[in-house]
């Protein structure tokens, strides 16, 4: 089996009820990149990478497409079921740019599952459950509005909440965290995510002011070093998200006692293959983590969902997907949806979705053998 065509599509995803408000960033629409691999036996695999704007992480949509343009000619003729070889070939021709490579990696997993008649989650060791818990992000707002959103989402069935903080006086963050924490039903967990916006001073002050609350702090500060400097000075477990750039950093953050858990993005670390390794390292060291992506449509959501379904429940913080903020689906029947705070795995092989390719218009680039 060989890859004989690679199509790259650009697609706009307007944000429903925009803006999506997080520290330092109002998000109005997203620019996603979709890869379609066509194989010599007619098998087709899809992958997607959708950075959350250009300042959430050092990744952006044009960068993804530029990297894919550089990579694609080297991948024609490779066997997509030899996913390790495909990743090695990408690394041999372009350093870094894991978020672009992720689209190819995910498409290879999709094609492999389809040709073997197996779901990606089963290729990854098997689903531990068919319904995967999600979590809801409460956007930057007043304490009263945050608490109201928290009540509503728990009533819907979300087993975990994340409150966005940062980019405003710490007193406002403390008030909002306290208000949301006060709504928590038994068993519902809460993370406060500053999306790298706090200074170490702010993180220490908020944590000390909320020391009686059972929350985790997610990516409080920008750099890895700033977050590492919080160890021993904050009263809460520390989760890394934006700073957990790759497997090596995850290993270091665990080995040096910096991270108690992670908010993980499939595209950031390089796709399903890299996320599987992160999953296994986190399992070995008992560090809970999410399996998300920054944004994206059904393909990105399905990739996260399939990996999320394979994480042991005790070590799993859920799979966030962008679907509540995106109108429509690439696959109307099996598109990935949150239902009562949980997400059902689609039944079909590969990623389990059959996108309507016509939605994306003409590809921006096509590479043929």
Positions annotated as catalytic residues are: 164, 265
**3, 34, 44, 52: which one binds ligand 0XW (CB under 6 A):** 52
Check binding of 49 to ligand 0XW (CB under 6 A): no
Q: For residues 158 and 367, which CB has a smaller minimum distance to ligand 0XW in the complex?
A: 158
Q: Which does 52 bind (CB under 5 to 8 A by kind): Mg ion, ligand 0XW, none?
A: ligand 0XW
Give the interface size with ligand 0XW as a residue count (CB under 6 A): 11
Tell me if 341 contacts ligand 0XW by CB under 6 A: no
Q: Which x/- pattern, by CB under 5 A, does the window 208-237 give for Mg ion?
A: ----------x-------------------
Considering beta carbons, is residue 193 or 202 the nearer one to Mg ion?
193
Q: Where are the alpha helices (DSSP H) in the chain?
A: 61-75, 83-93, 98-116, 120-123, 143-156, 170-181, 200-209, 224-228, 247-255, 266-269, 272-284, 298-308
Rounded CA separation 66/263 (Å): 27
Which of 46, 239, 320, 342 is close enough to bind ligand 0XW by CB under 6 A?
A: 320
Cα–Cα distance, 238 to 227 (Å, whole number): 8
One-character DSSP codes across 204-218: HHHHHHTTTS-EEEE
Q: What is the C-alpha to C-alpha distance for residues 159 and 148, in angstroms, rounded to an integer?
A: 16
State whether residue 44 is helix, strand or coil.
Answer: strand
Binding partner of residue 294 among Mg ion, ligand 0XW, none, CB cut-off 5 to 8 Å per kind: ligand 0XW
Sequence-separated (6 or more) residues with CB below 8 Å from residue 17: 325
Q: Which of 294, 319, 323, 354: binder of ligand 0XW (CB under 6 A)?
A: 294
> Coil, helix or strand for 7?
strand
From residue 268, give the alpha-carbon distance in Å to each of 173, 332, 337: 27, 27, 22
| Candidate residues 53, 220, 261, 263; the one interacting with ligand 0XW per rule CB under 6 A | 263
Helices and strands: H and E segment counts in the chain: 12, 15
- Indicate whether 263 belongs to the interface with Mg ion (CB under 5 A): yes
What is the number of other CB atoms lying within 10 angstroms of the CB of residue 285?
Answer: 14
Which of 149, 193, 292, 331 binds Mg ion (CB under 5 A)? It is 193
**What span, in angstroms and rounded, lies between the C-alpha atoms of 105 and 67?**
14
- Does 137 engage in binding with ligand 0XW (CB under 6 A)? yes
The backbone region for 72, taken as left when phi is positive above 0, alpha when psi lies in -120 to 50, beta otherwise, is alpha
Interstrand relation of 160-164 and 136-138 (parallel, antiparallel or unpaired): parallel
Give 9 or 198: the residue with its C-beta nearer to Mg ion.
Answer: 198
Q: Of 198-206, 248-256, 288-296, 334-342, which segment contacts ligand 0XW by CB under 6 A?
A: 288-296
**Least distance (Å) between residue 246 CB and ligand 0XW:** 17
Write out the residues near Mg ion by the rule CB under 5 A: 193, 218, 241, 263
Write out the residues near ligand 0XW by the rule CB under 6 A: 52, 137, 162, 193, 195, 241, 263, 292, 294-295, 320
């Amino acid at each position: 089996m060989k890859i004989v065509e690679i199509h790259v599509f650009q697609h706009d995803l307007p944000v429903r009820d925009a803006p999506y408000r997080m520290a330092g960033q109002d998000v109005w629409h997203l620019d996603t990149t979709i890869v379609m691999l066509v194989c010599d036996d007619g098998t087709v695999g899809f992958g997607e990478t959708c950075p959350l704007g250009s300042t959430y992480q050092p990744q952006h949509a044009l960068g993804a497409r530029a990297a894919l343009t550089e990579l694609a000619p080297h991948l024609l003729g490779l066997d997509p079921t030899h996913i390790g070889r495909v990743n090695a070939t990408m690394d041999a021709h372009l350093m870094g740019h894991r978020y672009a490579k992720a689209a190819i990696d995910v498409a290879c997993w999709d094609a492999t599952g389809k040709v073997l008649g197996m779901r990606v989650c089963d290729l990854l060791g098997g689903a531990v459950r068919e319904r995967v818990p999600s979590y809801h992000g409460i956007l930057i707002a007043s304490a009263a509005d945050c608490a109201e959103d928290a009540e509503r989402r728990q009533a819907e069935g979300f087993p975990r909440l994340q409150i966005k903080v940062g980019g405003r006086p710490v007193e406002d963050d403390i008030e909002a965290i306290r208000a949301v924490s006060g709504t928590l039903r038994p068993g519902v967990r809460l993370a406060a995510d500053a999306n790298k916006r706090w200074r170490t001073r702010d993180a220490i002050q908020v944590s000390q002011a909320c020391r009686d609350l059972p929350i985790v702090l997610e990516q409080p500060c920008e750099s890895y070093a700033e977050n590492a400097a919080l160890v021993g000075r904050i009263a809460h477990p520390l989760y890394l998200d934006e700073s957990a750039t790759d497997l090596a950093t995850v290993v270091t953050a665990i080995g040096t006692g910096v991270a108690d858990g992670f908010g993980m993005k499939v595209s950031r670390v390089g796709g399903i293959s890299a996320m599987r390794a992160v999953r296994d390292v986190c399992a070995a060291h008992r560090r809970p983590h999410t399996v998300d992506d920054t944004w994206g449509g059904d393909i990105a959501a399905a990739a996260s969902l399939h990996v999320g379904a394979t994480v042991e429940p005790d070590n799993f913080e859920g799979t966030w997907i962008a679907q509540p903020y995106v109108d429509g689906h690439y696959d109307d029947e099996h598109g990935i949806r949150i239902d009562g705070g949980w997400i059902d795995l689609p039944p079909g092989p590969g990623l389990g979705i059959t996108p309507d390719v016509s939605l994306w218009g003409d590809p921006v680039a096509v590479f043929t053998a």
